[in-house]
């Protein structure tokens, strides 16, 4: 009976601790590099960002060359920072609101000057190293051949 109680207590601790761990994973899941694709009336616009979230949910980092400011709390990203669009020739507040989904992608809405739309952001794909080519054995090479 004592063994059963110890196991039950351990299971209960694991179940109760899971939301705390999940919350920490969500904050950590937003930290790092992201590739944003913004849907605009003129087509897709892409930008790379590097985000960092502190323990209080404050977001800092870079959106292209611009400094990012905002929050990430309860799974929701809310950014507002000054951005200069070379294409539009405009400097204005960029607003990003989104959510980390079950596929570990960010999705939501953006606003800049009189423009707005939706976005999707994913982690940049790591490029796989190209394997070194190995010379193949050819007849007459110095590799021993079975006879």
Whether 103 is in a domain gets the answer yes
Please state, in angstroms and as integers, the Cα–Cα distance from residue 71 to each residue in 33, 54, 74, 100, following that order: 16, 9, 10, 13
Whether 30 is in a domain gets the answer yes
Q: Which of 17 and 130 is assigned the larger pLDDT?
A: 130
Q: Spell out the residues 6+ positions from residue 45 whose beta carbon is closer than 8 angstroms to its own.
A: 37, 38, 87
Phi then psi for residue 11, to 5 deg, are -65, -45
SS3 state of residue 141: coil
Whether 127 is in a domain gets the answer no
Whether 129 is in a domain gets the answer no
Asked if residue 130 has pLDDT above 80, the reply is no
DSSP 87-115: TTTEEEEEEEEEEE-TTS-EEEEEEETTE
Q: Which of 77 and 4 is assigned the larger pLDDT?
A: 77
Whether 130 is in a domain gets the answer no
Please state, rounded to an integer, the average pLDDT across all residues of the chain: 79
Q: How far apart are the first and last CA of the chain?
A: 71
Count up the domains in the chain and report the number: 1
Whether 8 is in a domain gets the answer yes
How does strand 106-112 pair with strand 58-63? Answer: unpaired
For residue 23, the enclosing domain spans 2-122
Give the CATH number for residue 88.
2.40.128.120
**C-alpha to C-alpha distance for 135 and 138, rounded to whole angstroms:** 9
Q: What percent of the chain has pLDDT over 70?
A: 66
| Nearest CA-CA partner of 51 in 22, 79, 84, 20 | 79
Whether 143 is in a domain gets the answer no
Whether 80 is in a domain gets the answer yes
**C-alpha to C-alpha distance for 114 and 105, rounded to whole angstroms:** 26
Residue 24: predicted pLDDT:
41
The reported pTM is 0.67
């Amino acid at each position: 009976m004592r063994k059963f109680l110890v196991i039950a207590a351990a299971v209960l601790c694991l179940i109760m601790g899971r939301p705390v761990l999940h919350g920490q994973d969500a904050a950590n899941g937003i930290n790092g590099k992201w590739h944003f694709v913004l849907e605009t009336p003129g087509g897709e616009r892409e930008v790379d960002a590097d985000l960092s979230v502190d323990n209080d949910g404050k977001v800092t980092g870079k959106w292209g060359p611009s400094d990012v400011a905002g929050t990430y709390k309860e799974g929701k990203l809310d950014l507002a920072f000054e951005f200069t669009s070379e294409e539009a020739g405009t400097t204005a507040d960029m607003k990003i609101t989104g959510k980390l989904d079950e596929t570990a992608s960010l999705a939501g809405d953006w606003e800049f000057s009189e423009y707005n739309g939706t976005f999707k952001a994913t982690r940049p794909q790591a490029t796989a190293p190209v394997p070194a080519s190995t010379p193949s054995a050819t007849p007459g090479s110095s590799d021993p051949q079975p006879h």
